[in-house]
Amino acid sequence: MIGEPAALTNKQSDVLNAYNNALKNFESILGQRRAQINSNQRLPNLPGQALYLARIDMMSAYKDLTDALPSKIGGPNKFGIPPAYFDAGTEPLLDEYRKLFDFMEAPPAGAQKSDTPFKDIADLGTAIARAKGLDTANAEAAGRISLGLFFAETNGNQNVGNARSNKYKGSLQTGPSEDKNGRTKWAAMKKSIAAFDPALSLRDEKEEARVGDLDHRLNHWTAVRDALMNAHADIFPQVPAIVKTLPNPIDQMKFFELIQIIPTPTRSALKSGNLLNYRISDPTIMGYLRNNSIFAFGQADRARTSATFREILDAMWLFNAKFERALVKFDEIKTRQQG
């Protein structure tokens, strides 16, 4: 709780009170969910949505506070959130938030995990890219990007549910129609992959037999495979151009994550020949971005009516820590392969 210094304007007092109220509300909802879980109560439908909105409100109120009172901007925090958006003193609340989501999104009992989940994703992304005609270096970039998507969508956890949606689940958070579309596309490609990577093809046959009639999104291998084929495989041939425009591997991951969030405008931006300056101004698309924690915090950000892709990528700072973890895992995989 932040106390009120002397001689504040009415606006400054208002934003301070708004932040303290938003903080109290976030603490209250965290406590409510924890109590429900600890006492084995039935959770409400979409139990993570109220938590998510309360976190957004807290960070938004803090950004409004630091806009009005820049002296309130504190030091860095372990999550890498810009200090103007987050008080480092409230780190334990985000720790609890993550723990609650990990519980609420735990895989169902029948889910089929992999003992090599990170390698699976890198292998699949690389093989799909090779089948799309990429050379070794660019196919490797596609594998690295694919691993980033896994961390962005699931925080690096296999076969998870979704506490904010009843539609999406699995290791890359697809809906039923997306998974079905990916399976169809994979069936058309699998022979070409078998020709240059028979070991991966054999693994795929084993996982197909293992999953049987189970929802393919509850088997890590098939969930990742189908998701990549559905949304990303058709973009992989353009990885060389994307890497040239976005040499930072984290920016590359962000771009492909935008294929998940706003696929049509992201594809249009890529086709435009001027990716970074391509501007989004559709209110619905801006709403999709805000629903994924992009331009979601504070009145100034939320008042934006348009943004270029460079501005969107820069505003995706909540994804940075996840993508950094993906880079570490990918480097570990490459080191083991070279060893």
- Which amino acid appears at position 221 of this protein? W
Q: How far apart are CA 190 and CA 208, in angstroms?
A: 12
* Residue with token string 């086709």: 271
- ∠ at Cα 199 (195, 205), nearest 5°? 90
d(CA 110, CA 215) in angstroms, rounded, equals 10
Beta strands in 275-319 (DSSP E): 279-280, 307-308
Sign, CA dihedral 78-81-84-85, equals negative
With contact defined as beta carbons under 8 Å apart, do 154 and 254 qualify? no
Q: Find out whether 129 and 239 touch, Cβ atoms under 8 Å.
A: yes
Using an 8 Å Cβ cutoff, are 131 and 189 in contact?
A: yes
CA separation for the pair 236, 258 (Å, rounded): 14
Q: Is 308 exposed, middle or buried (0-12, 13-18, 19+ CB in 10 A)?
A: middle
Torsion of the alpha carbons at 146, 149, 150 and 155, rounded to the nearest 10:
150
Measured distance CA(57)–CA(83) in Å, rounded:
16
Q: For every one of its 339 residues, what pLDDT tens digit does the chain have, with 9 covering 90 and above?
A: 666 556 789 999 999 999 999 999 999 999 999 999 999 999 999 999 999 999 999 999 999 999 999 999 999 999 999 999 999 999 999 999 999 999 999 999 999 999 999 999 999 999 999 999 999 999 999 999 999 999 999 999 999 999 999 999 999 999 999 999 999 999 999 999 999 999 999 999 999 999 999 999 999 999 999 999 999 999 999 999 999 999 999 999 999 999 989 999 999 999 999 999 999 999 999 999 999 999 999 999 999 999 999 999 999 999 999 999 999 999 999 999 887
What six digits make up the tokens of 186?
A: 């994979």
What is the DSSP pairing of strand 279-280 with strand 307-308?
antiparallel
Alpha-carbon distance of 183 to 12, in angstroms, equals: 55
The pLDDT, as a whole number, for residue 8 is 87
Nearest Cα to 72, choosing from 13, 27, 29, 24? 13
What pTM value is reported for the model? 0.93
**Residues 242, 270: contact at Cβ < 8 Å?**
yes
Phi, psi at 299, each rounded to 5°: -65, -35
Torsion of CA 283, 285, 286, 292, to 10 degrees: 150
Cα(245)–Cα(229) distance, rounded to whole angstroms? Answer: 23
